Amino acid sequence: MTDKTSNQMWGGRFAAGPDAIMEAINASIGFDQRMAAQDIAGSRAHAAMLAATGIVSDKDAEAMREGLLTILSEIEEGKFAFSTALEDIHMNVEARLKEVIGEPAGRLHTGRSRNDQVATDFRLWVRDQVDAAIDGLQALMAALLDQAEAGADWVMPGFTHLQTAQPVTWGHHMMAYVEMFARDLSRFRDARVRMNESPLGAAALAGTSFPIDRQMTAEALGFDRPMANSLDAVSDRDFALEFLGASTICAMHLSRMAEELVIWSSAQFRFVTLSDRFSTGSSIMPQKKNPDAAELIRAKIGRIFGANVALTMVMKGLPLAYSKDMQEDKEQVFDAADNLMLALAAMTGMVSDMTANRASLEAAAGSGFSTATDLADWLVRALNMPFRDAHHVTGSLVAMAEKRGCDLPDLTLADMQSVHDKITDEVFGVLGVHNSVASRMSYGGTAPTRVREQVARWREVLA
């Protein structure tokens, strides 16, 4: 094969041949520079420990720590020149440290490897994202609690199969999402506890012969303890997978709520009005107000779930300990974290700004024979009728009302007694939608009293 043919195969971007391709596929600085703050925090903790254990002098350790702060400032101010030739954030920082402080920089890597260094940096970065997700979920739950409290006694239709089922309250519907996002909050908190162990000091895979103090660096970085097995410490990416798993379920919940907002804001429902801040117009239809933010939130689950699957596929066939495949662990996690936080912020904004249209909710609450179950329950309570018989009687009355084009409360007592002669006029006391929701006093029910109790409970929990 001629050089000309070879260059054609590599393509214009890799005209220099295999060396250029190897540099491009091996480098991660294009994305792992996002971990600069975590990398420098880990290195500063490591330097302090090296001095405390007598492995390096206090003077050299102080020079390293100060030099690292200088580099962090350069990065934060956009003055740092990242080099692809130096592969990753760790080598970029170390090379710049040598330029800043000279010979002591070469002592920083004593007692550690890039394997435990990257594991520590990534774990710190993911932990920060978990904390951000926790904050975001708490803000969303607070916005939902405000909506629930304001509409604790506003009636609306509850649905099964997207068909009118029974009346519920707006507050009860909002509180359902509080419960869902509370489970997400619990998952992130639980994952944080499990990931809060330090890989630093595991070195390449077997530990180190230097008398390092891993407990000291763990405490300095806010970890509960050092990881107990050096092989596991450099191999483990469960913390990232758990973050993605929790993010996937959370994004699914966000998507479900976004779907309801898309439906509810339509001209056919008019249950809610979304603010202009989270809606857009049409390029040719002036009457349109599109729920674009909700639709985009609904789509985020695809990216986040995709990241979860991608990292699982990367890890599933890897032997212990570190393999270069694990360089592919970060980009999808970074993307998932970005999109989760954006979706949480957008949903919090929409919930805070949206207006529930009480009149439309109430008008829809009584449609579709939504109090039929209340009628059946009354027949059981008042007439001691077996529920299956009550179900049959109620079905006959629904069919009668449907044939006449009216709702159950519009039937006369004589109409009802033509189906069952023991029915009395007391039945009309349970057929209104407000009476229906007020009667649902069981724990977890939709009664306004229960909704307000749950709002108060969750405000106390979040406080």
Q: Which of 391, 366, 421 is nearest to 157 (CA)?
A: 366
For residues 151 and 173, give the distance between their C-alpha atoms in angstroms, rounded to a whole number.
10
| Active-site residue (options: 161, 209, 283, 442) | 161
**Would you list the DSSP string of 146-182?**
HHHHHTTT-EEEEEETTEEEEEEEHHHHHHHHHHHHH
State the Cα–Cα distance between residues 375 and 391, nearest whole angstrom.
Answer: 9
Catalytic residue list contains 282 = yes
Give the whole-angstrom CA distance, residue 198 versus residue 226.
4
Cα–Cα distance between 319 and 315 in angstroms, integer? 9
Establish whether the linkage from the previous residue to 220 is cis, with ω within 30° of 0.
no
Beta-strand pair 272-273/225-226: unpaired
355 C-beta neighbours (distance < 10 Å), count: 10
CB 429 within 8 A of CB 374: no
* Torsional class of 168: left (φ above 0), alpha (ψ -120 to 50), beta (otherwise): beta
Distance between CA atoms of 348 and 365, rounded to whole angstroms? 26
Taking Cα atoms as reference points, which of 312, 192, 168 lies closest to residue 243?
Answer: 192
Q: Phi, psi at residue 427, to the nearest 5°? A: -60, -30
Among 6, 83, 186, 282, the active-site one is 282
> For residues 251 and 310, what is the distance between their CA atoms, to the nearest angstrom?
17
Q: How far apart are the first and last CA of the chain?
A: 71
Specify the 3-state DSSP secondary structure of 300: helix
Beta bridge partners of 155: 169
Task: Please state, in angstroms and as integers, the Cα–Cα distance from residue 67 to each residue in 102, 190, 216, 250, following that order.
Answer: 10, 36, 21, 40
Tokens of 455: 């709002």
Q: Residue 168's beta-bridge partner residues?
A: 156
In whole angstroms, give the CA distance from residue 338 to residue 330. Answer: 12
CA–CA dist 189, 166 (Å, integer): 35
Q: Which residues are catalytic?
A: 161, 282
